[in-house]
Every structure is written in C-alpha cells, then in structure tokens.
Amino acid sequence: MASNVTQISYVCVGISYIEKRNLAAHIKGRVAALAAIASVTAASLTVAAVTLTVAAVHT
C-alpha cells in the first residue's frame, strides 16, 4: 500500500512539474509575442516620424 501511495505522489509531482514547465513556456511565448509586437510598433512609429519629418522639410 505504501509503495502505491509513493508512486501516486511521484506521478502528481511529475504532472505538476510538467504543468509548470508548460506554463513557463507559455509565458515565454506570450512575452516573445508582445516583444515582437512592440518592436514592430516601434518600427512603424519610427517610419511615421521619418515620413512626417520628410513631409515637413519638403513643404
């Protein structure tokens, strides 16, 4: 009986460990996606600023 309980507890620990790793990977994926969105937004804002500057210089 004791060995069954030990095995079950090991399985539970293993499952929680896997879930934590999946959660960490999920969070990393979210952060990477947000970073990509932020860099694209920054790039488009830079392009817009350059465009406005060029337009202001030419007028």
> What integer pLDDT is reported at residue 2 of this predicted model?
63
Position 39 scores a pLDDT of: 92
Single-letter amino acid, residue 41: T
**For the stretch 9-38, what's the b/e string if a residue is b when 16 or more beta carbons lie within 10 angstroms of its beta carbon?**
eeeeeeeeeeeeeeeeeeeeeeeeeeeeee
Per-residue pLDDT of the chain (59 residues; tens, 9 = 90+): 567 778 888 888 888 888 888 888 988 999 999 999 999 999 999 999 999 898 888 76
Residue 31: its pLDDT value, please?
92
